[in-house]
Amino acid sequence: MSTEREKAAEALRLVREAVRERALHGAESTALPPALPVRTPEAMPREADPPPVALPPRPDAGAVNAIWEVRPKQLPGGLRGWLARVAHRLLGPTLESQVTFNSRQVQLDNEILAYVDARVEATHRHYDAILGLHGRHMGEIDERHLILQEELVAHVHDLVKRIDLVLSEAERGRLSLEFALRDLRSRLQRLEERLARE
């Protein structure tokens, strides 16, 4: 009976030692898991352009262009025509000055309208170029932030795996020590029993 018991105890001891060897010295227990690969994020999708803003209508200079000439086109006949010719001779220099002024004023108005149109168009082109550069830089910044975010997530996952590995190794070590203590206790009890019998 004691030999059968000793055989069973020896078999259990061998199994325990094999388990302890695997727990403490297994190749898979000390190898760190591979780090997650860093993913290259895709560029942010481009948002749709806002609808163009309706510009106010350009001022119409047609009416001023049509009435700048103040001289009559044809003088009436009769007494009224004679009086008109006399008044025209008396007021001729003043009337010519007014016609010249009106002509120059209409030309200036047309040039100012053309200048304002050209200036607004140039301003829009300039701001479109600036906004295009700014949008491209913001897209690059977003892309770099996404790459950094992906790298940070991969690093955190790697840290979590490493921490899990350290904690599991510590737990295995604690369990292994408890097992070794129990095994030592049982051996000590067997020795004490053997000594007591002898």
pLDDT at 153: 85
Give me the helix-helix angle, 2-25 and 78-197, nearest 10°: 150
- Per-residue pLDDT tens listing for the chain (198 residues): 567 777 777 777 777 676 656 554 444 445 555 666 666 666 667 777 778 778 778 888 777 777 777 666 776 777 777 877 787 788 778 878 888 888 888 888 889 999 999 999 999 899 988 988 888 888 888 888 888 888 888 888 888 888 877 777 777 777 777 888 888 888 888 888 888 887
pLDDT of residue 122: 92
Contact 179, 16 (CB under 8 A): yes
Return the pLDDT at 115. 93
pLDDT for 116: 92
CA distance 18 to 25: 10
Residue 36, pLDDT score: 60
What pLDDT is attached to residue 176? 75
CA 196, chain centre distance (Å): 80
Domain boundaries, the chain: 60-197
Backbone angles phi, psi at 45, to 5 degrees: -65, 140
What is the pLDDT, as a whole number, of residue 157? 82
Q: How far apart, in whole angstroms, are the C-alpha atoms of residue 27 and residue 42?
A: 39
What's the rounded Cα separation, in Å, for the pair 193 and 190? 5
pLDDT value at residue 118: 92
